[in-house]
Amino acid sequence: MNMLTIQNDSGLLAVDIGGTSVKYGYWIKQEMQDLGKFATPSTWPEMKAQLLSLPEQIAKPIHGVAVSLPGSVNVSTGQISGVTAVPYLTDFPIRDELSEGFKRPVTIQNDANCAGLAEAWIGNAKDVSSVALLVIGTGIGGSLIQDGKLLTGRDHFMGEFGYSIMDGNDRTLSDLASPVKMAQRYTQASHSTQIVEAPEIFERAKTGDLLANDCLNNMLRWLSLAAYNVITSFDPDRLLIGGGISVRDDFLKMFRNRVHTLLVKKGATVTTDIDRCRFCNQSNLIGAVAQFQNEYPETSTVH
């Protein structure tokens, strides 16, 4: 591991590795600057080469690198395990290899955990003690935070709500409730020659398309059941919804109503707030910065 050296004008390189793209930015003075992205490479050597070229591209002083990525992340060992959208990232000391390449300290954290850290730090959960996060994307991710600290569990798997089995056919929440799956089901059932994306399904449901309405209601049903289970299991102060779909006011209203109806129906007298995440595209980057500052507290008072 490389030693931390902070210059007066240095910042952090933040990186968010996803299944289709890699986003990056430069964090300094409580602001994310120089945002950019590139397509996720198909091999680790290609990925590593592109990552190590970022400091030269940004051309600003960097004292550390904060990385958000998919998978079960062991912060202590600096390795990733389990099923991930980028399989070549697993089962080797990725943090130390990157640190050696960057010649700077590197931290890594799961992407949904990063989103939760961002919200707890400076987002829509900064004013509460406990928060549960549901990230709705290609799959369903999540995180749990208590008093600003991640709850990770024995095998760093806590908050992986997408793995929850939801029916008698062993289908998971990710199988049933992601907008991508909804779009696939609608496209197949409507015999469309092209994928009809989730936003279009919302609009078609508004105009009376019965199939669109049915697909939308099914997705909302499974998400509401999952939220009910999270709320009654962990009793958080706030449940935050992330992912692209969370920016829709119509979705948030329907989701809140359905969860509230379930809670009342079952006599669950809880008062958990339900809201969307403050950050969308930058949440993982900002949360990666929060993780770096947690591991290197001396940087939190500098930038």
pTM: 0.88
> In this structure, is residue 81 part of a structural domain?
yes
Place 301 in a pLDDT band, splitting at 50, 70 and 90: low
Distance CA 258, CA 266 (A): 12
| 272 and 285 inside one domain | no
Residue 6 has a pLDDT of 61
Looking at the domain assignment, is residue 3 inside a domain? no
156 and 271 inside one domain:
yes
How confident is the model at residue 3, as a pLDDT? 58
One domain, residues 254 and 285:
no
On whether residue 106 sits in a domain, the answer given is: yes
Q: Report strand pairing: 140-146 vs 130-136.
A: antiparallel
Q: What total of structural domains would you count in the chain?
A: 2
- Does residue 267 share a domain with residue 254? yes
Q: Is 175 found in the same domain as 42?
A: no
Structure confidence at residue 158 (pLDDT)? 93
Average pLDDT over residues 49-67: 96
Cα dist. 219→37, 135, 177, 199, 258 in Å? 30, 14, 5, 13, 12
pLDDT, tens only, 97-120: 999 999 999 999 999 999 999 999
Residue 239 domain-assigned (yes or no): yes
* 275 exposure class (CB count in 10 Å sphere: 0-12, 13-18, 19+): middle
Residues 134 and 242 in one domain: yes
Is the per-residue pLDDT at 147 higher than 60?
yes
The answer to the question of residue 2 being in a domain is no
Task: Answer yes or no: is 4 within a domain.
Answer: no
In this predicted model, what pLDDT tens digit does every residue of 123-136 receive, in sequence order? 999 999 999 999 99
Distance separating alpha carbons of residues 204 and 213, to the nearest angstrom:
8
Q: Looking at the structure, tell me whether residues 132 and 96 fall in a common domain.
A: no
Dihedral (CA of 230, 129, 284, 252) sign: positive
Length of the chain: 303
**Parallel, antiparallel or unpaired: strands 106-110 and 62-69:** parallel
Mark whether 105 and 128 lie in a shared domain: no
**85 and 28 in a common domain:** yes
- Indicate whether 21 belongs to any domain: yes
Distance (Å, whole) CA 27 – CA 284: 13
The SS3 of residue 106 is strand
Same domain, residue pair 141 and 268: yes
Kindly report, residue by residue over 154-210, the tens digit of the pLDDT. Answer: 988 899 999 999 999 999 999 999 898 999 999 999 999 888 999 999 999 999 999
The pLDDT of residue 2: 64
Over residues 68-82, the mean pLDDT reads: 93
Give the per-residue pLDDT at 268: 95
CATH at 256: 3.30.420.40
Shared domain check, 152 and 101? no
Range of the structural domain that residue 156 is part of: 124-277
Residues 155 and 272 in one domain: yes
